[in-house]
Amino acid sequence: MSCNQPVDVVTIDLSRGEAEIPSLLVWYFFEEITHSGDGGLYAEMIRNRGFEDGTLPSGTVLKDGKAVAKPLHCYSNDSINHFSIAWNDSLFMESWEVKCVSDTRPPFYEITEVKPLNNATPHALFIDLGASASDVWVMNDGYWGIAVTEGQRYNFQFYLFTEELKNTVVTAALLDREEQIVVSKNFQIERDGSWNHYEGTFTVDTTANDLRFALLLPHKGKVYIDFVSMFPENTFCGHKNGLREDVAGMLRDLRPDFVRWPGGCIVEGLTMDNRIKWKEMIGDIVKRPGEYNLWGYRSTYGFGYHEFLQFCEDIDADGMFVCNAGMSCLFRNGDYWEEENRIDNLIQDALDAIEYALGDTTTVYGKRRAENGHAAPFPLKYVEVGNENVGLRYVKNYNRFYKAIKEKYPQIEVVCALMFSPYIQEAEKIDILDPHYYETAGWFYNNADVYDKLPDDIPYKIYVGEYAAIGRPSLYSSLAEAAYLTGVERNADKVQMVSYAPLIENAAHGKDHLLVLKNDSVYGRTNYYVLKMFSENRPDVNLHTDLKPASPEPVFRTNGFIGLGTNNTEAQFKDLKVIVNGEEIYTSGWSDFVDKWTIIRGDWKTEGNLLSQSQKGIDALAILEDREFDDCTIELKAKKFLEQKDSELCLAARIRIIILWRT
Ligand code: AHR
């Protein structure tokens, strides 16, 4: 740069301190989604370890290949959502394969409830080995392959039940893709007609990421198998039912002040019956039933409430527990409970969760915590009532939760899950409000000042429990999120806490989350490093700054492709035009829709000059990736179709024109 080139001037006035910035600013939010826990942070290496993955989501019945929820009224507007998802029994064998070693006549096998290992996990794999031509491999793929490191030790266990087996030696092994044994251990099996537990350790002398765990069974007799599990000996902080060292290490390095857990929509559930139940997420992992989660797979509940609290302690963070507020996710079944005693039970459940974390060992749940290996209290500071809820039914329940929690635990700060909503005024008292922002990168870039507009006398703190720039993660979207965070810091007297979401994705199952992992590695996207920089460079106070740009209007030029989106509404679009210098350079007739547009989400169809999107869910998106556009004007006609009576849902129903920058 030459000396006489004009420069931007930033003036920082050291004498004018503005909002103080609390150290609470950077958090994160953990939810079981895209295998962030099972197949992610949680170090379990065997997928579908208890043969329970085919169990229907609680609160649904199987009908015509679908798991169908009860036709109950939705809490927001009394509609009946008729919620269902495709369902397939073969999920019971997810990640498992049974075959005979000679690859000829396979044995007979099935998933059965005839010999439950325990009541909570009723299914087991039954194999009639006699039909097989040779000995039998029962193999598990893990979470997209099992990864091991040379010199490391891996602790495994399994349960067998048999009265008749040709001989009593069963081999546990790790196999490579050619079914060659990498490491193995023999077990002498009891034939006493009861469940027996076997455990061992493999020390491997190779590094690989595509192994399988296998049991080799003799080819005569009958056997039941259940709960096959394997963990690396080295877990984060050395806990037995522990977390992956590499993944947990990346999370610790963010130095969060608090962690929000366990959700998210998962707290609400597909149906009320499908909601998260923390009492099933403590104690012996063999007896944790797990639950199908609304993100498309079954959670083992292995990374449960106790493990979450332990993790908070290990990384020196405080915990925020989110409880169900009496309603399931309104974008799924949305059913709700209203009978006093049922809400009382949910409130008691939340109080018990607090007692589990904080109570001394003379209390019922404090004692349970001690029995589970932790006599001292855990660092729980916050309880959120529900997630992303709307409407009066929610507020009524929230008020009851608030009162009960404060009466017994005045030190707990209670978070209200109403987004900025007309019903806020019906809440008797709010300590903290939790609005969420999933917007485009452009939105974050252009709305770094969104909180400058908040009134000064806002009577509660704001915790942005979830935010993320949607679309492809890129350096641009990370910078846009960083710009937004500067706006949070600037208004830290009002917005005291934020957490990015979602946190972790398994690369085989993911989208655009902060940390990406495979079975042998993990990396942070650029926005992970944005958060790390904010966390490592914590300011105490805002100072008044003034920017005088060299050119009056800084020009930000880039190019990218366009898209159309909807949120919570069906919509129709027509007459889309992209205009540059008065010239129409793109006009939709939609004849190019099938070939040139890519549907990311939603149900998009064209008819003549109309393009319609008919899914009411969140973030439907179709993009025209084929064309590059620079500075331009975009015009179109659009119509949204709203049936909902609830005004908040109408507020949440949006149509979007999206410009996604190419990076
Ligand atoms: O982060 C994914 C989901 O987005 C959360 O479960 C929910 O709270 C939000 O809508």
Q: What is the 3-state secondary structure (H, E, C) of 222-235?
A: EEEEEEEEEEECCC
Distance 436 CA to ligand 1 centre (A): 8
Candidate of 438, 467, 504 to mutate for ligand 1, largest count of ligand atoms within 8 Å of Cβ: 438
β-pair type (208-217, 221-232): unpaired
pLDDT given at position 544: 86
Do residues 558 and 476 make contact, with C-beta atoms less than 8 angstroms apart? yes
Region class of 381: left (phi > 0), else alpha (psi between -120 and 50), else beta: alpha
pLDDT at res. 128: 94
Instruction: To the nearest 10°, report the CA torsion of 105, 111, 116, 122.
Output: 160
What is the Å distance from ligand 1's center to 264 Cα? 5
DSSP assignment of 428-440: S--SEE--EEEEE
Q: Give me the half-sphere count of Cα atoms (radius 13 Å) on the Cβ side of residue 346.
A: 28
Q: What is the CA radius of gyration of the chain?
A: 27
Residue whose Cα lies nearest atom 4 of ligand 1: it is 264
User: What pTM, to 2 d.p., does this model score?
Assistant: 0.86
- The pairing of strands 153-165 and 195-203 is antiparallel
* One-character DSSP codes across 319-364: EEEEE--SB--TTTT--B--SHHHHHHHHHHHHHHHHHHH--TTSH
- The confidence score (pLDDT) of residue 617 equals 67
Residue having the nearest C-alpha atom to atom 8 of ligand 1: 264
Return the DSSP state at 568. Answer: S
The answer to whether 412 and 405 are in contact (CB under 8 A) is yes
> Closest ligand 1 atom to the C-alpha of 502?
1
Which of 611, 613, 596, 597 is closest to 653 using CA atoms?
613
Best residue among 27, 265, 385 to mutate for probing ligand 1's pocket (most ligand atoms within 8 Å of CB) is 265
CA of 655 to the centre of ligand 1 (A): 19
- Cα(278)–Cα(228) distance, rounded to whole angstroms? 23
Cβ pair 577, 609 in contact under 8 A: no
pLDDT tens column, 102-144: 878 889 999 999 999 999 999 999 999 988 888 999 999 999 9
Q: What are phi and psi of 567, to 5 degrees?
A: -135, 115
- Please give the pLDDT value at position 663: 40
Q: What is the DSSP string of 450-518?
A: GGGGS-TT-SSEEEEEEEEEESS--HHHHHHHHHHHHHHHHTTTTEEEEEES--EEETTT-SS-SEEEE
**Which residues lie with the beta carbon below 6 Å from any ligand 1 atom?**
31, 33, 263-265, 387-388, 436, 466, 501-502
Question: Given this model, what pLDDT does residue 3 score?
Answer: 61
Cα 296 to averaged position of ligand 1 atoms, centre (Å):
14
How much distance in Å is there from the Cα of 324 to the middle of ligand 1? 14
Tell me the CA–centroid distance for residue 265 and ligand 1, in Å. 6
Distance CA 233, CA 45 (A): 12
Residue with tokens 């229907």: 56
The residue whose CA has the least distance to atom 1 of ligand 1 is 502
For ligand 1, atom 9: residue with the closest CA: 264
Question: Which residue out of 466, 500, 619, 654 has the highest number of ligand 1 atoms within 8 Å of its CB and is therefore the one to mutate?
Answer: 466
Q: What is the pLDDT of residues 233-263, one digit of tens each?
A: 999 999 999 999 999 999 999 999 999 999 9
Contacts of 144 (CB under 8 A, 6+ apart): 39, 506, 508, 518, 519
Task: Specify the pLDDT at position 559.
Answer: 67
Question: How far is the centre of ligand 1, averaged over its atoms, from the C-alpha of 566 (Å)?
Answer: 17
Q: Report the chain (663 residues): mean pLDDT per 10 consecutive residues.
A: 74 84 77 97 98 97 95 90 92 96 88 96 95 91 98 98 87 96 96 96 97 94 97 97 98 95 96 98 98 96 98 97 96 94 98 98 98 98 96 96 98 92 89 92 88 89 93 86 92 90 90 90 95 90 84 62 83 91 87 87 89 80 83 87 56 65 48
> Nearest-CA neighbor of 282 among 368, 374, 380?
368
Nearest-CA residue for ligand 1 atom 6 is 264
